[in-house]
Amino acid sequence: MLSSNAEKIYWLSRYIERAENTARLVNVNFDLLLDIPHDSVSDFIHLVEITSDLEQFNSILLDEKMFYSSSVSAVKNVVLNFVIYNSDNLGSISYSLEMAKYNSRYLRTMLPKTAWEQFNKLHAEFSLSNKENHNTEVLHQIIRNSKTFFSTISDAMHRDHVFDFIKLGRFIERADMLSRIIEDQILRKDAKIPKYYENLQWMSILKSVNGFESFKKINKGELRRSNVLDFMVKLKEFPRSIIFCINRLIAVTKYLPKSENLKLKLIKIKKQAAKLNEKSTDKQILAILDLLQLSLIDLHIEIEEKFFNRGPV
């Protein structure tokens, strides 16, 4: 497989997964705000903080002061537009999909035809979606289309290196985004949300990863922070837990050439994540997540050096 193609397929996969997870993140916040009756303006701004760059956001506002004192629905529209549609915003869904589209142009020869058509559909439907009318349908559409894209890949694709790099990109991105979703909820606790709503928060985060039903099956009625964290970080059977992602990555290394070092790094990450337990304080949890994110960046650099930059020897 060409080094340059490995790089493009890896990024295509990462950007689609990123678009999907950003959609999930926006969606869960959107959902939550319907339930929490308090200062929602700052909650929407919080959405900007966790997905994008607040400074950049402020720079697009005509009048900052006036904006922050305007009505919730006005703020909501500006924020959602920024997070979903503003392709100058590197954290927006639009940017991720444009980058995915850019990479996909090179990859027609590598993807199954059905997957290629599904990606075109994903991109086209997003481009055609109504930018004025902010309901969550566009988010659901992205999640749905991205899922269909990846299931088409699993269903129709020849198991070769292309498949391996799709997985590599997808699960690194997912682990990273999961850690951010959790981090977001922990940090939120600092904000002035009444204790009463805390469970609601953890419930919607579970929903955002399609994990509510399986969580219930395992934990029965009991919904506590520690339970949810354990589920989302350490449950190896659940496809949107961090450990699940790391295990999948370890499994991929088996098929990649000269990947011993990569595997060692992954095993180390797994050990770090396993440190999380019932007694972990917020500070400890944040430190673990922080380390995880840094390790994932390190992992990416390793992949880049090993596979993407293969020049003359």
Which residues of this chain interact with other proteins, rule CB under 8 A? Answer: 1-6, 102, 105-106, 108-110, 113, 116-117, 120-121, 124, 161, 256-257, 307, 310-313
Nearer Cβ to other proteins (221/311)? 311
47, 29 contact by CB (below 8 A): yes
Nearer Cβ to other proteins (180/306)? 306
- What is the spatial distance between Cα 112 and Cα 188, in angstroms, rounded to a whole number? 42
In whole angstroms, the minimum distance from the beta carbon of 256 to other proteins comes to: 7
In whole angstroms, the minimum distance from the beta carbon of 106 to other proteins comes to: 6
Helices 3-35 and 137-156: crossing angle in degrees, nearest 10, is: 140
Nearer Cβ to other proteins (6/181)? 6
Nearer Cβ to other proteins (235/303)? 303
Nearer Cβ to other proteins (62/313)? 313
How far is the first Cα of the chain from the last one, in angstroms, to the nearest whole number?
A: 17
CA 84 to chain centre: 14
Q: Of 7, 6, 20, nearest to 122 (Cα)?
A: 20
- What is the spatial distance between Cα 212 and Cα 86, in angstroms, rounded to a whole number? 31
In whole angstroms, the minimum distance from the beta carbon of 1 to other proteins comes to: 5
Q: Of 217, 215, 208, 230, nearest to 274 (Cα)?
A: 230
What tokens appear for 102 in the block? 């850019």
- What is the spatial distance between Cα 165 and Cα 29, in angstroms, rounded to a whole number? 31
In whole angstroms, the minimum distance from the beta carbon of 258 to other proteins comes to: 9
**What count of other Cβ atoms lies within 10 Å of the Cβ of residue 225?**
18
Nearer Cβ to other proteins (34/313)? 313
- What is the spatial distance between Cα 1 and Cα 292, in angstroms, rounded to a whole number? 30
In whole angstroms, the minimum distance from the beta carbon of 313 to other proteins comes to: 7
In whole angstroms, the minimum distance from the beta carbon of 109 to other proteins comes to: 4
